[in-house]
A and B are shown apart, each in its own frame.
Chain A
Amino acid sequence: MRIRVHNQLDDLAHDTRTVANRARRDMTAVVRKNTREGNRIAKAFASEQHTMFSDADIEYPPSFTWEMLSPLEGEYGPDQAIGDGSQSPGYEFGSINSPPHFDLARSVEAIQHRFLWDVQDLPDRWFWPGAK
């Protein structure tokens, strides 16, 4: 069997228009997914720290929230207005008396690779739809 694929400038022009339309939506989806996932991991670290070993700081993990600041910009972490969120600098960085917990720093270490892979996947999906 032989398959011939003819590509012409018209097709490239069509693809380029399609990519331009899809790119922004797809990039937003990747940022949104990884922001939400980063928050989930950070919150899991905080839960582990604060509910497995004590019940004194049980109001800290629920303060972890995420939101999209703009289509390509997400933010996650403890919300100062919720629960013990205002104590996050003490938990995250520690003090003379207690070592840092690094709930956020460890979540960044975990999420950065997935985020990178997702971003690298984007162009493949634009030029070869369905070829993921």
Chain B
Amino acid sequence: MSALTLDARKHAAAIKTVVSAALGTKWNAFDYGEVPGYDGNPGPKPDLFALVSVDMVPATGQRMSAQTGMTRWIASVRGVGPTVQEAQWVLFKAMGVLHEARLTIDGRDTTPLQASNGQAPRKDGPAYSGLAVYTYSH
């Protein structure tokens, strides 16, 4: 068994890869602040895209002295589109490849991602966006 991967960038990269693939050749998944055309970034604004965030959860369920071979993570996918339905489409496509799926990060599989929470698409700046939340261990 390979070592723990505490580097959130690798988790985010794995999620962005599968979500981008699910959105087809035209649309992609990005980190917050990295979307072309937003925040002064170069390039044309995409109509549809997904935003990915990854947080590690401190192992507060453990005793202070305990060691663990696993860490708990919360990932979220924000579906953005010019209408509610298009934002929902992004969330739906992402859920198709994430819910109950195992991702391989640094040669080690995660537990199946569980869709746990979320927010329906609503007006958000220039577009509509909604959120889907996934939890897993790695």
Q: Name 18 extra pairs, CB < 8 A, besides A96-B80, A100-B133.
A: A41-B60, A93-B119, A94-B53, A95-B124, A95-B125, A95-B129, A96-B78, A96-B124, A96-B129, A99-B76, A102-B76, A106-B57, A106-B74, A109-B72, A109-B135, A110-B60, A110-B61, A114-B61
Size band of the interface chain B makes with A: 20 to 34
B9 vs chain A, min Cβ distance (A): 14
Q: Within the complex, which residue of B32, B55, B58, B129 is in contact with A110, where a contact is CB–CB below 8 Å?
A: B58
Contact indicator B117/A105 (Cβ below 8 Å): yes
Size band of the interface chain A makes with B: 10 to 19
- DSSP class of A's interface residues: helix, strand, loop or mixed? helix
Q: Is A98 an interface residue (CB 8 A)?
A: yes
| Residue-wise interface mask of A (59-70) relative to B, using a CB-CB cutoff of 8 A (1 in contact, 0 not) | 000000000000
Give the residues in chain A near B60, CB-CB below 8 Å.
Answer: 41, 110
Report if A109-B127 is in contact (Cβ < 8 Å); known contacts: A93-B119, A94-B53, A114-B61.
no
Q: Within the complex, which residue of A95, A96, A105, A114 is in contact with B74, where a contact is CB–CB below 8 Å?
A: A105
Q: Is B51 an interface residue (CB 8 A)?
A: yes
A112 to B39, CA, bound (A): 38
Report if A109-B131 is in contact (Cβ < 8 Å); known contacts: A89-B119, A99-B53.
no
Give the residues in chain B near A93, CB-CB below 8 Å.
Answer: 119, 131
